[in-house]
Amino acid sequence: MITGEALILAASALGAGTAMVAGIGPGFGQGYAGGKGAEAVGRQPEAQGDILRTMLLGAAIAETTGIYALVIALILLFANPLIPLYTGL
C-alpha cells in the first residue's frame, strides 16, 4: 500500500527535480550577457574592464534565480518541512 509519507517523499523528489528546470532562465540570460559582453569588447577594447564588471554584476543578479531554485530543491531534499507537518496531524 502506498503510505501517506511515501507519497509526500515521492512528491518532494519530483518537486526538487522540477525546481531545477528554472536553470534554463539564468543559463540563457547569462549566456546572452556573455555574448553582448564579447561584442562590446570587440567594439570598445579599452573599456574592457568596465564591460567585464558590468557583465559580471548583471550575471550575479541573474544568478540569484538559479540560487533560489537550488535552495528550494535542497530544502525539499534535506530539510523537508512537509513531513513533520504530516506526521504532526
Cell readout for 53 is: 564588471
| Side-chain half-sphere CA neighbours of 21 within 13 A | 4
For residue 85, state whether it binds other proteins (rule: CB under 8 A).
Answer: no
Please count the helices (runs of H) and the strands (runs of E) in the chain: 4, 0
Give the one residue of 4, 11, 85, 87 binding other proteins; rule: CB under 8 A: 11
- Rounded Cα distance between 18 and 23, Å, is 10
Q: Determine the size of the site formed for other proteins (CB under 8 A).
A: 63
- Of these, 4, 39, 85, 87, which contacts other proteins (CB under 8 A)? 39
Q: How far is the CB of 84 from other proteins (least distance, A)?
A: 14
Cell of 83: 513531513
Q: Which grid cell sits at 32?
A: 546572452
The residues that touch other proteins, with contacts defined as CB under 8 A, are: 1-3, 6-7, 9-39, 41-43, 45, 48-49, 51-53, 55-57, 59-61, 63-67, 69-70, 73-74, 77-78, 80
